[in-house]
């Protein structure tokens, strides 16, 4: 008889040790605990409620080893396909089930996925600065810290603040971070409020995303010069990446890709709004700069043309937002047959649990490309204890069973949820723009 282990309880934990995280915690009848990241930046409570109200009640009593079956039950059973909230919720169940299977069988998840295909994962760090000089300070800091590849973002003359560019670093003190802004004061309605208890109504009513400004022509004039400067400084070896954050039209993106060619970008990310698959045909006709897309996509169908027509080079989806290890593995296998590699999303709004899941999958697949890595704030380590680590400049998920990460639920209770939003972007005349 094959071994069977039953899901006995399902619990959703919302905590904010530095930023908001949603975690699904499944426990089997044998007492094995599995964790899954369900964090959807700026819309966290929607996923928490979806899990609590609609998914957790369906899980209790189910076979925890039947990972594919549970996935299909949740995906096809709901009838409403895809969607960030749905696919993030399903992902958390999937991660927790892989975790449980690994812990029950006493092997790391990457072994269940076929075993290690490499010693560790090449990862890129983040450098940004309001000016090219400030950016270079950040680039030098990342290289000194041991990052082998660096993403570079720079301020645009005439614009006061743009997402992805942070307050400038002092040499040696850098801590690059992309927060969602806590627009609402941290005050709670009462001192022993539950972590997921909504903020007082008057606070929610005043919570608003920050509004930033955008000017495409100024950006397109400035960026190629900055790429030239950084490339000249770091030399030919260091892989440099850049995130356009969906802000360009196809022809503008084509022009930028062409202008970037002499500086050998590892990739140009989200050069156009990611949901427009056909737009990439036009960009591809004009440039050989490699293209990465997909952090906001969440199913294999979102990649149907991107992959089958070879319109991109890297799949940016993370395990957390793309239906879990089970579904992202299928997208990446599809990509592999078309010469396309992984570039999994790894900002700090992917929780340490989601990062661990990315690393197990990345270690196992053949077509791994690069992993994004942005360190979590130290307070995150009061709640989560991962076993992933750096080995000779490469990231490794560790050899602990399952995903190799534990969560202190008491500590989680000390960091109550706080409303926080990603910004929105406007042009000088007030028009809302992609960002």
Q: Min. distance of Cβ 347 from ligand GCO in angstroms?
A: 4
Q: Which of 75, 110, 163, 388 is catalytic?
A: 163
Query: How many residues in the chain?
Result: 435
252 is an interface residue for ligand GCO by CB under 6 A = no
Which of 41, 277, 287, 351: binder of ligand GCO (CB under 6 A)? Answer: 41
Span near ligand GCO by CB under 6 A; candidates 8-16, 45-53, 227-235, 344-352: 344-352
Pairwise CA distance, residues 69 & 57, whole Å? 17
> For ligand GCO, which stretch binds (CB under 6 A), given 24-32, 208-216, 223-231, 345-353?
345-353
44 binds, among Mg ion, ligand GCO, none (CB under 5 to 8 A by kind): none
CB 258 within 8 A of CB 233: no
C-alpha 346: how far from its chain's center? 4
Whether 303 is a known active-site residue: answer no
Residue number, 52 or 245, with CB nearest to ligand GCO: 245
CB nearer Mg ion, residue 94 or residue 295: 295
Does 372 sit near ligand GCO (CB under 6 A)?
Answer: yes
CA 391 to centroid of chain Cα atoms: 22
Residue (252 or 270) nearer to Mg ion, CB: 270
The angle formed by the CA atoms of residues 285, 289 and 292, to the nearest 5 degrees, is 95
Locate the DSSP E strands across 137-197.
149-154
For 165-168, the CB contacts below 8 A with 24+ separation are 165/128, 165/129, 165/130, 166/128, 167/130, 168/129, 168/130, 168/131, 168/134, 168/137, 168/138
| b/e burial code for range 76-107 (CB count within 10 A of at least 16 → b) | eebeeeeebbbbbbbbbbbbbbbbbbbbbeeb
Could you confirm whether 163 is annotated as catalytic?
yes
Is the Cβ of residue 95 or residue 387 nearer to ligand GCO in the bound state?
95
| Catalytic entry in 245, 246, 327, 376 | 245
Residue 349 near which of ligand GCO, Mg ion, none (CB within 5-8 Å, type-dependent): ligand GCO
Q: Does 178 bind ligand GCO (CB under 6 A)?
A: yes
176 is a contact residue toward ligand GCO (CB under 6 A): no
> Which strands make up the sheet holding 432-433, listed edge to edge?
211-214, 424-427, 432-433
Quick one: 292 or 335, whose CB is closer to Mg ion? 292
Burial class (CB in 10 A: 0-12, 13-18, 19+), 288: exposed
Residues 6+ apart with CB under 8 A from 88: 38, 39, 40, 47, 298, 320, 321
Size of the site for ligand GCO (CB under 6 A): 10
239-268 positions binding Mg ion, by CB under 5 A: 243
- State both tokens at 234: 């770091």
| Three-class SS state of 256 | helix
Q: Is 349 in the site for Mg ion (CB under 5 A)?
A: no
Binding site for Mg ion (CB under 5 A): 243
* Catalytic residue numbers, as ranges: 163, 245
Binding site for ligand GCO (CB under 6 A): 41, 178, 243, 245, 295, 345, 347, 349, 372, 422
């Amino acid at each position: 008889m094959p071994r069977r282990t039953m899901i006995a309880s399902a619990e959703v934990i919302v905590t904010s040790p530095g930023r908001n995280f949603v975690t699904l915690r499944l426990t089997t009848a044998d007492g094995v605990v599995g964790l899954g990241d369900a964090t959807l930046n700026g819309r966290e409570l929607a996923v928490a409620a979806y899990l609590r109200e609609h998914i957790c009640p369906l899980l209790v009593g189910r076979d925890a080893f039947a990972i594919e079956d549970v996935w299909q039950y949740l995906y096809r059973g709901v009838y409403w396909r895809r969607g960030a909230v749905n696919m993030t919720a399903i992902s958390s169940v999937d991660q927790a089930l892989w975790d449980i299977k690994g812990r029950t069988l006493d092997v790391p998840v990457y072994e269940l996925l076929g075993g290690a295909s490499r010693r560790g994962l090449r990862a890129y760090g983040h450098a940004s600065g309001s000016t090219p000089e400030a950016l270079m300070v950040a680039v030098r800091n990342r290289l000194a810290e041991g990052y082998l590849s660096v993403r570079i973002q720079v301020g645009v003359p005439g614009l006061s603040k743009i997402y992805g560019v942070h307050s400038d670093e002092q040499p040696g003190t850098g801590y690059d971070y992309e927060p969602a802004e806590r627009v609402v004061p941290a005050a709670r309605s009462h001192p022993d409020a539950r972590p997921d208890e909504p903020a007082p109504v008057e606070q929610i009513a005043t919570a608003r995303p920050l509004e930033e400004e955008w000017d495409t022509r100024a950006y397109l004039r400035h960026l190629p010069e900055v790429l030239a400067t950084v490339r000249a400084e770091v030399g030919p070896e260091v892989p440099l990446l850049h995130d356009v954050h969906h802000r360009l039209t196809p022809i503008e993106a084509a022009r930028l890709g062409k202008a970037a060619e002499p500086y050998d970008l590892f990739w140009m990310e989200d050069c156009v709004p990611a949901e427009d698959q056909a737009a990439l045909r036009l960009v591809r006709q004009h440039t050989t700069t490699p293209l990465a897309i997909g952090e906001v996509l969440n199913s294999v169908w979102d990649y149907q043309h991107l992959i089958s027509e070879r319109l991109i080079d890297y799949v940016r989806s993370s395990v957390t937002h793309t239906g879990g290890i089970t579904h992202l593995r299928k997208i990446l296998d599809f990509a592999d047959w078309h010469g396309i590699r992984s570039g999994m999303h790894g900002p700090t709004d992917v929780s340490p649990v989601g990062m661990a899941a990315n690393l197990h999958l990345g270690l196992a697949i053949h077509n791994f490309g690069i992993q994004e890595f942005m360190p979590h704030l130290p307070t995150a380590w009061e709640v989560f204890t991962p076993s992933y680590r750096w080995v000779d400049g490469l990231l490794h998920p560790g050899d602990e069973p399952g995903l190799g990460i534990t969560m202190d639920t008491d500590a989680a209770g000390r960091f109550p949820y706080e409303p926080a939003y990603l910004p929105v972007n406007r042009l000088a005349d007030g028009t809302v723009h992609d960002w």
